[in-house]
Structure 1
């Protein structure tokens, strides 16, 4: 490995899920190779993901939305943290744009991985459009988790765009039996349909609630939603008011337990890249019903039933079809278990190749 590529700074903003876990995996892997790795981000991310256990952590106040004074402070802090680095790899649009501004006038290689699509409109949408143009102009390499993100960044003028490799971590073995999970959620033979999502606008949970209204022939399924977020109060109020067969489980660490008891994973999102919960369901051989958005179709192949985003009638129809046809469920389960999925080594190999191709970086 050439000396020029020894110091890498990984940058991220506020994260409570997949982005943080991905950066933690990269930091640990790159450090094991002998690289000098610094992770820069909000203090809350180090508390959540333990970056300082595998690399040096530098606190940088990258917030989850535009805040001019905080952003100026973040740019100045990043300029100091990235001094002497040969590669800066930012994760997320805001982190990427702030890193680009911090590197102005330097020859440091900049890689930006975009994990999410722009869904905001109005003034916030305009600001994020500006951030996209900054990243497109300044980044040496843009990595994307879905084809539509790549098309958007090319249209913004990005010079080099490639697919990101974002594997889910291995699932822990289940800690409870299916009977024990059912005793908590839905005793007897009632079908359990699992959704794992932050309770936020992007996840399309209003469509899930529309679909949950039914009607369904025979036993009404239980829709179990694992996750927390800003929409919890509004979702629970609607569930109670309409008597919907939906339970909000809150954040759960027992994903493997929930998956083994689920008849299907339901993903009603407005947009997704390479969602970890879909990868986990594929590894567990669980049938999937999902919206045909972002990177999902390419991930699932023939292992899922796909519906348009926001189409509650189509979602309800595919749920009913799966519940009524055990043979279909078996075929989807077999196809899920057979899907090829990337692992940690594939992700590390991909970033090594990207870093090595940067101007002056070497391998």
Structure 2
């Protein structure tokens, strides 16, 4: 949790909800940057295990396994909730060894379509190996549940789809949408694989005949390369890199269009945040994205690397204020009906209770 991402936001929101509900919550993570989160003010304990990293590394993974075992043995929790592929696997091994009911949330399988074949092979077999140690599996999209069934990762009775959900905006968050020299596009994503800020920049660099401004929110190792691209294509006056921000709700409220281009996804919280803000969305049709966005109703879906259609859809929305308003209103209503926090929280708590009851 040294970077902001959908899975991390999900964990924070669940932890805060559980704490406010009277449960005792501890988060165990790899690297941790406290300034990015609201956990301290909610008095939620965070334990950092730096050896727990995203990439596979045998020595560090064994260290992380041993250190996590020590932590969990001391905490003696009723439920171990594991998130993300790597931490999820290590967490389930520890949970199985200590006989603690373990619920794994798959935010996007690491063997999903779009992931490099070698990585797919490794993680598919890893998931099959740790499945017997898993009490319940939550998938954030129907796409991921069906993919797991197709790959024979786990039996049907162990899995349940619970779509991501986020809190409603309060009156204090209602912000007048700003006027700009041109429509303001925003993309919220870390500058890492599988996000494709490069594809958006390439498309927009060929649309300089119409007004637009672009804000990138997020950080990561690929950012310097894209900053160089912006400089080389004389886009400095149109593109801003804002880094990691705590005021994403405000920034979205000041925007006119949200874009998320990824090679693979689960059910992106960033899109749900954009829908809550009443923004039309252009996104790649991967993972569970089409469970959020209906093409032509809340925005537009495009296939991976489909730059020609991306340019067409960008021009269409950037040039038509009425269409942006219509799709944005549709997005907000869709969010209010299906993707708020309370239903997601209650369903997740029910799965935790099922897992605990099974142990008893």
Give the one of 245, 251, 255 matched to 1:252: 245
Shift of 1:75: 1.5
CA-to-aligned-CA distance 1:315-340 (integer Å, 9 cap, x gap): 11011112333332222022112112
* 8 Å contact from structure 2 (residues 93, 130) kept in 1: no
Residue number among 72, 77, 85 corresponding to 1:82 in the alignment: 72
- Does 2:205 align with 1:220? no
- 2:301 pairs, out of 281, 297, 306, with 306
CA drift at 1:167: 2.1
- Asked if 1:350 is matched to 2:347, the reply is yes
For 2:225 and 2:59, the matched residues in 1 are separated by 32
Root-mean-square deviation over aligned CA pairs: 2.8
Measured in 1, the distance between the counterparts of 2:206 and 2:328 equals 24
Q: Secondary structure at the match of 1:289?
A: strand
- State the match for 2:47 in structure 1: 58
Output one character per residue of 1:267-324: Cα deviation in whole Å (capped at 9) or x when no partner: 1222222222211221121111111122221112331211112111111101111233
Of residues 80-89 and 262-271 in structure 1, the stretch that sits farther from structure 2 once superposed is: 80-89
The 8 Å contact of residues 288 and 303 in structure 1, kept in 2 or not, is answered as: yes
Residue 201 of structure 1 corresponds to 193
Pairwise CA distance, 1:86: 2.8
Superposition pairs of residues 1-363 of structure 1, within 5 angstroms: 15-42=3-30, 44=32, 48-49=36-37, 51=39, 53-60=42-49, 61-83=51-73, 84-118=76-110, 120-121=115-116, 124-154=119-149, 155-159=151-155, 160-171=158-169, 173=172, 178-179=177-178, 186=180, 188=181, 190-215=182-207, 219-244=210-235, 245-301=238-294, 302-339=297-334, 340-358=337-355, 360-361=357-358
Partners of 1:355 and 1:361 within 8 A in 2: no
Give the Å deviation of 1:43: 5.1
Identify if the C-alpha distance between structure 1 residues 99 and 253 changes in structure 2 by more than 3 Å, giving closer, same or farther: closer
Closer, same or farther: CA 39–239 of 1 in aligned 2, 3 Å: same
Contact 1:146 1:273 in 2 (8 A): yes
Q: Conserved in 1, the CA contact under 8 Å of 2:36 and 2:246?
A: no
Alignment partner of 1:300: what SS? coil
How many angstroms apart in 2 are the aligned matches of 1:19 and 1:108?
22
Give the secondary-structure state (helix, strand or coil) at the position aligned to 1:89: strand
- Counterpart of 1:82 in 2: which secondary structure? helix
Task: Report how many residues are paired.
Answer: 343
SS at match of 1:74: helix
Which segment drifts farther, 48-57 or 93-102?
A: 48-57
Q: 3-state SS of the aligned residue for 1:116?
A: coil
Deviations 1:220-260 (A, max 9, x none): 32232222111111111122222345332323333234323
> Residues 45 and 149 from structure 1, CA distance in 2 versus in 1: closer, same or farther, beyond 3 angstroms?
farther
Q: Distance in 2 between matches of 1:292 and 1:354?
A: 29
With structure 1 as the length reference, what TM-score do the two structures score? 0.83
Structure 1 residues 198 and 105 mapped into 2: Cα distance closer, same or farther (>3 Å)?
closer
Larger mean CA deviation between 45-54 and 200-209 belongs to: 45-54
Tell me the SS of whatever aligns to 2:242: strand
Equivalent position SS for 1:112: strand
Please say if residues 4 and 190 of structure 2, whose CA atoms lie closer than 8 Å, have aligned partners that are also in contact: no
Aligned equivalents of 2:284, 2:186: Cα separation in 1: 15
Alpha-carbon deviation of 1:139?
1.4
Give SS of 1:224's match: strand
Provide, for residues 67-88 of structure 1, a one-character-per-residue CA deviation record: whole Å limited to 9, x for no partner.
Answer: 2222112212222333333321
